[in-house]
Chains A and B, each alone.
Chain A
Amino acid sequence: MPSETLRRRATPAELRVADRVRLFAAQSLGNVAALGSRLANRGSGASIRGQVLTRIAPDAFRLLLRGRRIASVSGTNGKTTTTHLLAAAVRTGLGADAGRLVTNTDGANLHYGLASALSQAPTADIAVLETDERVVSDMIAHGRPEVLVLLNFSRDQLDRHHEIKALGRSWRAALQRAGQSGPTVIANANDPLVVWAAGTAQTVVWVNTATLWTADAALCPACGSMLTTIDDRWDCPGCELTQPEATWRVDGDAIVLPSGERVTPELRVPGSFNVSNAACALAAAVELGVDVDDALRGMRTVTSPAGRFATTTMHGTTVRLLLAKNPAGWAEALPLAVSDPVILAIDSVAADGKDVSWLWDVDYEQLQGREVIATGPRAQDLAVRLTYAEVDHRVIPDLAAAVAAGGGGTPAPGSPTAAIDTLATYTPFQKLLKMAGLR
C-alpha cells in the first residue's frame, strides 16, 4: 500500500483547449516522424519526435511539465542509471498504480527529449526525469520539481569546461528564484561544486556518497581559495563553504539511513559508484513517499539502464558494454574491466568532447599485462597513450572488426560476466547498442 505522500495525485497539464489541440497535432506528427526514424533504423525516434514536437509547439516542454509531480535527476556522471534506479523504486512503491509513472528511460534528457517522453504519457502524474545539466534551471523554473537530485558536477567535455561555473551559477539563480516553491534538493555532499550550486535551495537533503574523484575540486567555487581536506572532509579556508553534515551516508556496500539503520542495496549494476547513485535514488524515493523496502526491491530489478553494463553477443564475441564519458567516468569504469583483451572505443564528435586530452588523465597503466584493442575514430590517440603507458595493444579503427577480433580472447578468470569488456565514449557506445540491437 503506497504511503499517503505517494498516493497524493497531481493533475497533469490542465491545458487550454487550443494548447491541447496544438500539442495533439504536434504529437501525432512527431509520432509519424519517430516511426519513420525507427523504420529507417536511425534509433529509438525519441529525439526526432521531440524535435518535431517542439518545432510545432515551442512551449511543449513547459506545457507538458505542468501539473505533474516531478523528480529531476542531474549531474555529470550516473544520471541515467540513477534515473532508472529511482523510477524502479517509485514503480514498485506504486504497485498496481504503476501507470501513474512516466520516465525518460532512453537518456534523451534535453528539452525535446523530455517533451517527447512526457507526450507519450499524458495522464501519468509522477515524472522521474533525467535532466541534462543545461536544462536544470529551466526544469526548476517551469517544472517546479518536488525533488531535484544533484549527483556530481565535474568536467564532462574538456572543450566545454569553461561553461561549468556559469552552469552552476544558473542553478543557484533558479533555486533562489523558486524560493519556497523550489524543490527539495538531494545533493552529493562530497562534491564542492554541487554543494555550492545547491546553496540557494530552501531544503537540501545531503548524501555523503563516499566518492573519490577530487581532481576537479581543487578550488572553492565560491571564492577561489584552495580547498583543504581534513579527516576525509573538504573545507574552504577562505569562506564558509564546507562539506555539509549528511543525513544519508554510503559506507562500503551499505547505505546508512537517517535513522542509523544500515541497508545493503545488493544492486545488479556493478561498481561502488552505483551504490552512491543508489543512495541518492533511495533518498529521493523516500522524499516522494516510497517505503525503503519497496524502493530497494525496485532498484534490484535494474540490470542494464539504457544499455549500460549490458552483456550481449555480436560478431561472434560476447561483450559487456561499459560507458565512460569523461575522466571521472573512466576512473569508475576501468577497474570493472577485467577481461583480456579489453576493447576501448574512442571518438571525439561533439557528444564525446572534441578534445581528447583527457586520455592522459586516465590511469590506463592499470591495464599493463593485458592486451587492449583500440578502436573508434580516435583509436590512434589512444594507441599513443597506451604506448606511453606501456600497455600492449592493437589498433582496429572499425568498431565491428574490433569486436570480432575480441572474440579470440578469453575473459579473465573469475570474471563475473564471462564477456569481453568493452568501454566506450558516448558516440561509439550508441553505435555498439545499435549493433547489438539494444536500441
Chain B
Amino acid sequence: MTTNPVEIVLVYQSLLGIYGDRGNATVLVKRLQWRGIEAKLTVVEPGDPVPATGAVYLLGGGEDAAQVSAVRLLTADGNLFKALDDGAVLFAVCAGYQICGNTFTIGERDEVIEGLGVLDVDTRRGSERAVGELLTTWTRPDGTEQLLTGFENHGGFTTLGPGATALARVEIGIGNGVDGTEGAVQGRVIGTYPHGPVLARNAALADHVLSTALDRELQPLERPEIDELHRQRVAFVRKQGLRR
C-alpha cells in the first residue's frame, strides 16, 4: 500500500543515527522527487508515535543501549509491524539490522536481548571488530549482479536462519562475519552492515528499495556524479584489498 505522497519514515534518528544513516532517507526522498514522484520525509523521535502509513522505514546505526531502547519503543508502539503487514519496506543498517533479528547481544558480558523478530537472524559478538571499507556482490531478484560498497563498523557477527537469505556475498571486508555473506533479506525487510550512507554510495540499491515499496519499475536516473563515486570507491577498496 502506498499513499500519495510517498512517505519515507526515519525511525529514532537520535537513537540510531550516529553514523550518517539519515542520509539514506535524504537519498530516497530525492530520488523520488527527481522522478517527479511526490515524497515526504517523516522523522520519528523516541516518544513520538510511529506512523503506520509509511512506504519505507529506515533504521540506522547506534550503541548498545540505543538498540535496547529502540526495540522496547518499537514493540510498545506496534505501528512498524502493522505497516510491514501492509506491505511497507524496512531498510535497516548495522545496529538497526541487528535489532531486526531474533536476538542480539550487548555489553561486555554479552547479555542476550530479544530483537524485533522480523529477520530470521541472530547476532553474537564476533572474533574481531569489523572496521573498514566493505565490498560485496549483490544478486538482484532478477539474477543480475551489482557491486555494493560501504564502510562497516560493528562488533557483532550475524548468523542467518532458514527464514532469511543473504543480501550479498563479501568480496573484501567482514560483513555478517560467519560465512562470507553480508546482510539479510526476508520479504520486504532488508538488513545490511555498511554505512556510507549505503544508499548514497549505491544508487542501484536505493532504487531497488523504492521500486519494491512502490511495486513498480522506476525510470533510470542520469546522475554521473553518483556513478563516479561508486566507481571510485570500488576501485579504492579493491586496491586496498590487494594490499591486505
Contacts and interface: CB of A to CB of B under 8 A. Distances in A.
Co-complex (A, B): yes
B127 interface: no
A380 B230 CA distance: 9
A360 B151 contact: no
A357 B151 contact: yes
B228 to A, nearest CB: 6
B225 A387 contact: yes
Determine the interface band of chain B, counting residues with CB < 8 A from chain A.
35 or more
B22 A387 contact: no
Contact of B69 (A159, A219, A388): A219
A388 B27 contact: yes
Contacts of A158: 18-20, 153, 195
Interface in A337-379: 354-361
Interface in B194-237: 195-197, 200-201, 223, 225-226, 228-229, 232
**Band of interface residues on A:** 20 to 34
A385 B229 CA distance: 11
Contact of B20 (A162, A224, A360): A360
Interface stretch (B36-44, B50-58, B60-68): B60-68
A218 interface: yes
B183 interface: no
A245 interface: no
Contact of A387 (B63, B196, B226): B226
B186 to A, nearest CB: 25
Interface in A147-192: 155, 158-159, 161-162, 165
Contacts of A385: 23, 200
A383 B18 contact: no
A213 to B, nearest CB: 12
B132 interface: yes
Contacts of B19: 158, 161, 355, 357-358
Contact of B225 (A355, A356, A360, A384): A384
Contacts of B155: 162
Contacts of B68: 224
A370 B155 CA distance: 41
A162 B129 CA distance: 10
B27 A161 contact: no
B21 interface: yes
Interface string B142-161: 00000000010101000000
A299 B95 CA distance: 44
B15 interface: yes
A249 to B, nearest CB: 26
Interface string B1-43: 0000000000000110111111100110010000000000000
B200 A383 contact: no
A359 B68 CA distance: 27
Contacts of A361: 17, 20, 22-23
A16 to B, nearest CB: 42
Interface string A219-236: 100001010000000000
B225 A383 contact: yes
Nearest to B226: A384
A216 to B, nearest CB: 7
A224 B131 CA distance: 24
A357 B155 CA distance: 18
A358 B63 CA distance: 16
A355 B18 contact: no
A105 B226 CA distance: 41
Contact of B153 (A159, A356, A388): A159
A19 B46 CA distance: 58
B232 A380 contact: yes
Nearest to B198: A357
Contacts of B200: 360, 384-385, 388
Nearest to B20: A357
A224 B65 contact: yes
Nearest to B30: A388
Interface in A107-164: 155, 158-159, 161-162
Given A360-B23, A361-B22, A380-B225, A159 B151 contact: yes
Interface in A92-106: none
Contacts of B132: 159, 354
Contacts of A401: none
A128 B65 CA distance: 37
B229 A355 contact: no
Contacts of A161: 18-19, 153
A357 B93 CA distance: 13
B225 A359 contact: no
30 contacts: A155-B18, A158-B20, A159-B131, A161-B19, A161-B153, A162-B63, A162-B155, A215-B17, A218-B15, A219-B65, A219-B66, A224-B64, A224-B68, A226-B46, A226-B69, A354-B131, A354-B132, A355-B19, A356-B151, A357-B20, A357-B21, A357-B195, A360-B23, A360-B26, A361-B20, A361-B23, A381-B229, A384-B200, A384-B229, A387-B225
Give the 10 A-B CB pairs with smallest separation, nearest first: A360-B23, A357-B20, A224-B65, A360-B20, A218-B14, A357-B195, A355-B151, A380-B229, A384-B229, A357-B19
